[in-house]
Chain A
């Protein structure tokens, strides 16, 4: 049974055309994360939500935004994708921020291509 679901698995967009990636979870976890992973590199955290509280990493470009309308869903919006934004985007969840409950579970990722 899928626990962290990402749609679509592959997304093609045009340079400058806004795109939205979707993540949903069936784990009822409080925390949801978005990572960007470029080819042959480690995943890099963009931002995360602790419940409704949004936490942006300092070096995340303004071009990247996120929404979390409810516990189950989280969206990644790229307002004006550039060629450098082509990457795998990984969504992850963790139960909460308490000690001993920090394991993050990842979805299958969405591979974004920018033409």
Chain B
């Protein structure tokens, strides 16, 4: 069975601080995909990134960066110089590929204070 753990229920930081959201996963699949989604108060899940299990390169996109480490089964997400608009619930998710649904973590509520 697949499992995604986001141990941080809520994080609150002051604007411009860097913040890291943790994600640890469990799967028996040798090929799998990891995702991060952002859910603002409006409710829509916004796709941020997808990572294949065979590609451990870290990725940076503007103020966002992701650190994928298979050795520790972690896929952490860092926001640099946080902004109030980053306030949202962030979900880490796992898929075994194919037409599978996503297994989500419980989400981390990120609050960026001005």
Binding site for B on A (CB under 8 A): 30-31, 33, 35, 41-45, 48, 50, 55, 57, 88, 90, 92, 94, 96-97, 99-100, 102-109, 111
| B37–A106 CB distance below 8 A | yes
Scan residues 31-61 of chain B and give those whose CB is less than 8 A from a CB of chain A: 31, 33, 35, 37, 42-47, 50, 52
Which residue on A lies nearest to B109, using beta carbons? A40
B31 touches which of A33, A90, A99 (Cβ 8 Å)? A99
Q: Check: B85 CB closer than 8 A to any chain A CB.
A: no
Instruction: Please tell me if B87 contacts chain A, counting CB pairs below 8 Å.
Output: no
Which residues of A have CB within 8 Å of B50? 102-103
* Residue B91 interfacial (CB < 8 Å): yes
- A66 to chain B: closest CB distance in Å? 13
Rounded to whole Å, the gap between the CB of B47 and the closest CB of chain A is 6
Are B44 and A104 in contact, CB atoms less than 8 angstroms apart? no
Contacts of A35 in B (CB 8 A): 101
